A = this chain, B = another copy of it.
Amino acid sequence: MRTDCKTRLFVDAQLGAKLAVVLNRGQSHYLVSVMRARIGDRVALFNGQDGEWVSEVAEATKRQVTLRVLDQIKKQQPEPDLWLAFAPIKKARLDFIAQKATELGVSHMVPVMTRRTIVDRVKTERMAANAIEAAEQCERMNVPTVGEPIKLDKLLRQWPTERKIMFCDEDLSGIAAHTALAAVGDKPSAAPWAILIGPEGGFDEVERDLIRNHPNCMTVSLGPRILRADTAAMAAISLWQSALGDW
């Protein structure tokens, strides 16, 4: 934290000087019972649109806290437009992906159901909660959105025309990710991209053909070792951010 606020919260409310923000019950409880906030304490707020603001606790009960917004401390920054489309994995590692992808700066996460996907239900609300918490802690100015699970073929059929796909293929035949990204050219900060990561065990042959033949697809390799799906996601985001994002 680089403000003097001990707490930084994402709120679904307009932010501007002198506005009042009523926290929901979960956040009120956290602030009063966990952080022991008192009247007059400072809290940093962001909502993904109006920049970051410092506020002070105006009223506080365990059930409801009202904050008074004071000054803007950061202007809203544009974030790279990078989706993470990944075959969902088991609980602990799904939490992990949502947190880490948020820290690393993706704009949207979408679980993709593939033939070898083992997980049936994906707790997207839990992913969204993890994303909010990570965004609060990493000083991001917005929170990535979380899409509902979608089948791979449907996702590719309705794929946005202008969004490129960085497909991390486990068969290692792709060009080195670093080289492929460098060849894309100068950072086109507005260009939308997506990283596509398969399930443990990989996409099957039919799926791989579908992906590789997609006109927006760039197939890349992440080195000679077999990475687990979550590791591959983190590595791919890091390389993309360095080459085309805001690192």
Chain A residues packing against B (C-beta within 8 Å): 77, 96, 100, 103-105, 137-140, 176-178, 221-228, 231, 234-235, 238-239, 241-243, 245-247
Contact = CB atoms under 8 A, between A and B. Distances in A.
A234 B238 contact: yes
B247 A100 contact: no
A231 B245 CA distance: 17
A231 B224 CA distance: 21
Given A234-B235, A238-B235, A105 B223 contact: yes
A180 to B, nearest CB: 10
A238 B239 contact: yes
Contacts of A243: 178
Given A223-B105, A247-B222, A247-B223, A100 B231 contact: yes
A247 B234 contact: no
Contacts of A77: 224
Contacts of A226: 103, 137-139
29 contacts: A77-B224, A100-B234, A103-B225, A103-B226, A103-B227, A104-B227, A104-B235, A105-B223, A105-B225, A137-B226, A137-B228, A138-B227, A138-B228, A140-B225, A176-B247, A177-B247, A178-B247, A221-B247, A222-B238, A222-B247, A223-B241, A223-B245, A223-B247, A224-B246, A224-B247, A234-B235, A235-B238, A238-B239, A239-B239
Nearest to A100: B231
A198 to B, nearest CB: 15
Nearest to A220: B247
A238 B220 CA distance: 14
Contacts of A234: 100, 231, 234-235, 238
Identify which of A239, A242, A245 gathers the most chain B CB atoms within 10 Å of its CB: A242
Contact of A177 (B105, B227, B242): B242
Contacts of A137: 226, 228
Given A176-B247, A178-B242, 15 more contacts: A103-B228, A104-B231, A137-B226, A138-B226, A138-B227, A140-B225, A177-B247, A178-B243, A221-B247, A223-B246, A224-B247, A231-B234, A235-B238, A239-B239, A239-B242
